[in-house]
Chains A and B, each alone.
Chain A
Amino acid sequence: MWMLSFIPDSFLHLVIILILCAGAGIYVLSLFFNFAVPLIPYKEPARILGTLLIVAGVFFYGSYDTEMRWRKQVEEMQAKVKAAEEKSKQANVKIVTKIQTRLKVIKEYKTVYKNQIKEIATKIDSECKVDPDAIKILNNAAKEPPEKSK
């Protein structure tokens, strides 16, 4: 069936119509063979040939129609996939932009809070001394927990 794609559609369609018309024509003509005595022996072969051509023509017409519908489906699917890929790219750009903006904001806030701590550093350091054990506990808590629980 794939070989059909190499033949121009209009030519294929024309050939199929010609086969169908030839079949129908021969069959109809064979009905009049009774009126011409010399043609009577050719009546049956002509009817058989006409019928075979009609059968072949209808089969080819069916195949042609399926082929055309198939090509249309492929084209539609390709267009859908292309549109989805474009949409997906746009969504990616949108998400990446959002991430970059968020990262920037998080960094800005971090700087603001660090500066605020610097401003009150003298005050809080004079009022409170942190026990080294507390630092150890906090550092341990910051570490990734092992896979097995205690």
Chain B
Amino acid sequence: MKKLLLVTLLLLVGCASKSVPVTQKFPTVPDELTTPCSDLKDIPENTDKLSVLAGTVVSNYSLYHDCKMQVDSWNEWYITQKKIFEEVK
């Protein structure tokens, strides 16, 4: 009888240890971050004006800043989202 009672106590833990079936999806990247960087602009070849060249250089610098901002934002987005994702455990 005592052995039977011991077995009964063991039965209490019979159904333990299951993993929770709740899945978490990693968020989707915003469209603003997935647009590819533009190609640099060419200087018109039929000109000898320094102002035209300088204007193109300014445009290209601006394109670089756009692209840099996008890459930096991508990194920031990933680090932030990864941190939030890993908090759920």
Contact = CB atoms under 8 A, between A and B. Distances in A.
Given A55-B8, A138-B43, A139-B42, A102 B22 contact: no
Interface of B is mostly: helix
A130 B49 contact: yes
Contacts, number: 142
B62 A110 contact: yes
B32 to A, nearest CB: 5
A77 B8 contact: no
A66 B11 CA distance: 12
Interface residues of A, number: 58
B6 to A, nearest CB: 11
A59 B14 contact: yes
Interface of B: 1, 4-5, 7-9, 11-16, 18, 20-22, 24, 27, 30, 32-33, 39-45, 47-51, 53-55, 58-62, 65-66, 69-70, 73, 76-77, 80-81, 84-85, 87-88
**Closest 8 pairs (CB-CB, A-B):** A62-B12, A121-B51, A142-B40, A110-B62, A77-B22, A66-B15, A59-B11, A88-B27
